[in-house]
Amino acid sequence: MPRTHHSQAPACPQRQAAARARIARLVAEKKLDVLRDFVLRTATLVEDIYLDNPSGPVVADDLSTWPDCWTVWRARAGLLGENIVSGDGELAFLLGRIRRFIHVSDVFRAKAYTDIARSGARLDELPAVHRSLAVMFLAQLFGPDMSGPQPTGWPGDPDRALAMVARHRLVAEELEQLFAVTTRRHHLGGVVAVSDDPGCFGGVLRLHADYSARELVAAADPAIFGDHPVPVTGDGDYVFAERNQILLLATVTQGAGVVATANRETYALSPRLVNWCSSPGLSAADPAAGAYIDQAERGTQIVIAVRKTGPHVTRTQQYCVLGRAHYTGHTGSCPVNFRLALEHMLPTDLCRQWLACGGC
C-alpha cells in the first residue's frame, strides 16, 4: 500500500554554518558543563546543538568529523576532561543518534530511556514495562527501520545492542543532559497513561506525548528485531493481528485536510470523533474490516496518533498520541469510512488546525 512521507526540510547551509560557528564560540567562552544552563544563558535552541555535521564521513580519531552533540561540542573545546576518540567509531555512531530523541518530552519515557542506556541488562532481565521501552529505545536509536537486512550499526540482537550502549557511559549522560531540556518545555502531554494494560502497546504510551513511528510500532510489536518485522513506513494503518492491536498514523496538513496515505483522507467529526478512511480496496465485508467492526467482541486495541505539517514547518514532526479509540459505526465500502470515538478530547491546537482544514 503506498504511503505518504514527510521528510525534514533541508536547513539553509549558510544558516547552519553560522549556527555551528556561534555554538563553538559560546561553548568555548561560557565553559558550562550543563546543557540546560547553556541553552538558557545563551538563548540557543537545543535543536541547534544537534545540527547535521557537514564534514563528510566520520573519522574515529577526528572530532571535527563527529556528529554534533553536547558531549562533542565540549570535547572540541577541551572541556570534557577526557579523550573520547576511539578507533572503532562506536561512540561517535551512538552519540550521533542522540538527536533522534529531541522529541521526548515526557519524564516517564526520558527516565526509562536513560536508565536503559545505563543498565546494560538483557531484555529478559528487565520488568515487562521496561522491556517494551527498551525495544522502543533500540528501534529509535538503531533505525531507520527494521525491515532491511540489518539496521545501521546494529550489532546483531537486542541484548548485544543494550550492552554496546552501556559500554559507553557518555551515551546515557548525553541523554540525561538532553532530556533535562526537553522535559521542561511547555508541553502538557505525557502525564496520563493511554492504558496500563500490557496488552495495549505494552502499557507504555502516554496521552498527547510525541513519538516517532518507529517507537510506536516497536511498542506494539516487540518482534521488530525479528526475521519478519512490520516495515515502518510512515502514515497509514498498522494491523498487529496476533496481538489484537491496530495503530493508525496520519498527518494533519494545514490547508489540505488530514492526509493518511495516498488518495486517502481522515478528519475529525468532533473533538472526540474521528473518521478514518480505509485503503481504497478494503470492503466492509473483508475480514480486515472486521478488526474494526467487531472491536468490542474481539477486544481490539486501537490507538490513533497524528502529526502536523504545513508550509512553515521545517523540521520533521513526530506523532502526538491521541489515545485509544472505539468503533461506533461505518459507512461505504472500498473504501470504508470508520467512525472512531476517542477516549479523550483532541489537544486544542490540533483540533484548531483540523477546524482550519474544514474537518471539525
Split at pLDDT 50, 70, 90, the class of 47 is very high
Average pLDDT over residues 206-235: 84
Q: What pLDDT does 358 receive?
A: 47
Helices and strands per DSSP (H, E), number in the chain = 13, 9
Give the position of cell 538527536.
99
Written as one letter, the residue type at 302 is I
Q: What pLDDT does 263 receive?
A: 47
Lowest-confidence segment of 15-29, 68-82, 253-267 by average pLDDT: 253-267
Q: What pLDDT does 315 receive?
A: 57
Q: What pLDDT does 162 receive?
A: 96
Q: Between 74 and 189, name the one with better pLDDT.
A: 74
Q: Between 64 and 6, name the one with better pLDDT.
A: 64
**140 Cβ contact partners less than 8 Å away, ≥ 6 residues apart:** 100, 101, 212, 214, 215, 218
Whether the predicted pLDDT of 343 surpasses 90: yes
Q: What's the pLDDT tens digit per position in 212-224?
A: 999 999 999 887 7
DSSP 307: E
Domains of the chain: 13-182 (no CATH), 234-356 (2.30.280)
Task: Give the containing element (helix H, strand E) for 247.
Answer: strand 245-253
Distance CA 130, CA 108 (A): 11
88 by Cβ neighbours in 10 Å (0-12 / 13-18 / 19+) ranks as exposed
Q: What pLDDT does 165 receive?
A: 96
Average pLDDT over residues 224-229: 67
Give the position of cell 494491523.
239
Residue 148, classed as helix, strand or coil, is coil
Mean pLDDT of the chain: 85
Whether the predicted pLDDT of 352 surpasses 70: no
Q: What's the pLDDT tens digit per position in 7-30?
A: 344 457 788 889 999 999 999 999
Q: What pLDDT does 42 receive?
A: 97
Most confident of 4-8, 239-243, 277-281, 335-339: 335-339
Q: What pLDDT does 7 receive?
A: 37
Give the Cβ contact number of residue 2 at 10 Å: 11
**136 Cβ contact partners less than 8 Å away, ≥ 6 residues apart:** 204, 214, 215, 218, 219
Q: What pLDDT does 317 receive?
A: 81
Lowest-confidence segment of 15-24, 230-239, 348-357 by average pLDDT: 348-357
Whether the predicted pLDDT of 5 surpasses 90: no
Let me know the angle formed at the C-alpha of 210 by 325 and 356, rounded to the nearest 5 degrees.
70
Q: What pLDDT does 261 receive?
A: 52
Whether the predicted pLDDT of 359 surpasses 50: no
Split at pLDDT 50, 70, 90, the class of 330 is very high
DSSP 222: G
> What percent of the chain clears pLDDT 90, i.e. is strictly above it?
59
Q: What pLDDT does 312 receive?
A: 53
Q: What pLDDT does 2 receive?
A: 28
Average pLDDT over residues 78-90: 85
CA-wise closest residue to 185 among 8, 46, 38: 46
Written as one letter, the residue type at 133 is L
Q: What's the pLDDT tens digit per position in 118-167?
A: 999 999 999 989 999 999 999 999 986 444 555 667 888 899 999 999 99
Q: What pLDDT does 301 receive?
A: 96
